[in-house]
Copies of this chain bind each other. A is one copy, B any other.
Amino acid sequence: MLVSYTEENYLKAIFALSRLYNDQEVSTNQISEHLKNKAASVTDMLKRLADKKLIDYKPYKGVKLTDKGKKTAVKVIRKHRLWEVFLVEKLNFKWDEVHDIAEQLEHIDSDKLIEKLDDFLGKPKADPHGDPIPDASGKFGVQKSVALSDASKRSALIVTGVSDHSTEFLQFLSNSGISLGNQLKIEEYNDYDRSITVKINNKRSLFLSHKAASNILVEIK
């Protein structure tokens, strides 16, 4: 039984939303907003996905992915992130340019291709935005990173990812000279607006708003 391009996008959306809301049922409206489709169209699709046993759907009660649906969604995410690594590492794209292309590439259907691509890239554990890449069996490595805005002062931090994937934010980081792997130290914490000052790689100092800091993920070194 084959899953269409469109169905894959719905499964991915449901997976992301159920993560976001700690594995609760996902509502029609949440999916509708996420995919920018009308709620009536979503209901339509939910019926089709339920027929295919990819989701559990109780009218008015929201949906949950079945194991089969989860497996499909995770595979699409795996493909998306592997292709992003390829685009950045091999083709020299910038990290803010790859998402839209990966949105297309993630639907290419060939198990052999995924595994050969994974080998070619050296079985990467994370994509260019620090998001973990599930392995062939669908398991994600554990991510123990926290938002920079929640990190403690003075300890050495490593930038491991971002939680805002927009071109604007990624370009802002690049322009500010922050990239994955950089070492950060929080130098000042302003109670008034929760803005901070950080030192990058023990060199330059940089001022960051709370909004920016909340979207940078770090691990304690």
Interface membership of A101, Cβ < 8 A: yes
A109 CA to B87 CA in the complex, in Å? 14
A119 CA to B108 CA in the complex, in Å? 22
A36 CA to B173 CA in the complex, in Å? 51
Partner of A116, one of B91, B105, B109, B110: B91
Interface of A is mostly: helix
Partner of A120, one of B91, B97, B105, B119: B91
Flag if A101 contacts B113 (CB, 8 Å). yes
Kindly identify, within residues 50 to 106 of chain A, every residue whose CB is under 8 Å from any CB belonging to chain B.
Answer: 87, 90-93, 97, 100-101, 104-105
Supplied contacts A90-B90, A97-B112, 16 more A-B pairs, CB within 8 Å: A87-B113, A90-B120, A91-B116, A91-B117, A91-B119, A91-B120, A92-B116, A93-B112, A100-B110, A101-B108, A101-B110, A101-B113, A104-B108, A104-B109, A104-B110, A105-B108
